[in-house]
């Protein structure tokens, strides 16, 4: 079993930055991939970024490429999402998730086995 807890959300002005953290506990193996997803009010949950736990290969949604950076700290067992140049359309609840099977379709939320509770990010104009 794996537990994920996100922190770091909040209110920020457009153009500003936030760093989300996700603390992972439990049985995390080298073949895990971790992802960040978000869900805005009235919209479906969407992929933001993903990173392999052992190979650190990163993937990003086009909407955040060049602005967001996903990273991990294997010693602390934490996942991060550095968000820069935030826009109003980035407002959403952000979730971290873990895929224990390293599925190819990292952008699909159904391949992720474990989810955090989410943290709210609000970007004001």
Full pLDDT tens readout for the chain, 125 residues: 999 999 999 999 999 999 999 999 999 888 999 999 999 999 999 999 999 998 889 999 999 999 999 999 999 999 999 999 999 999 999 999 999 998 999 999 999 999 999 999 999 98
pLDDT of residue 30: 87
Q: Is residue 84 within 8 Å of 68, Cβ to Cβ?
A: yes
pLDDT of amino acid 29: 87
Task: Give the pLDDT score at 107.
Answer: 97
* pLDDT, position 18: 98
Token pair of 75 as six digits: 């010693």
- pLDDT value for 55: 86
Decide: residue 65, CB within 10 A, 0-12 exposed, 13-18 middle, 19+ buried.
exposed
Percent of the chain that is helix, strand, coil (3-state, to 5): 5, 50, 45
């Amino acid at each position: 079993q794996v537990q994920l807890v996100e922190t770091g959300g909040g209110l920020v002005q457009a153009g500003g930055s936030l760093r989300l953290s996700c603390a992972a506990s439990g049985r995390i193996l080298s073949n895990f991939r971790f992802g960040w997803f978000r869900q805005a009010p009235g919209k479906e949950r969407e992929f933001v970024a993903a990173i392999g736990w052992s190979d650190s290969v990163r993937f990003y949604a086009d909407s955040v490429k060049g602005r967001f950076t996903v990273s991990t700290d294997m010693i602390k067992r934490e996942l991060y999402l550095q968000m820069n140049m935030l826009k109003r359309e980035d407002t959403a609840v952000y979730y971290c998730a873990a895929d224990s099977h390293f599925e190819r379709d990292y952008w699909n939320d159904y391949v992720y086995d474990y989810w955090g509770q989410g943290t709210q990010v609000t970007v004001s104009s």
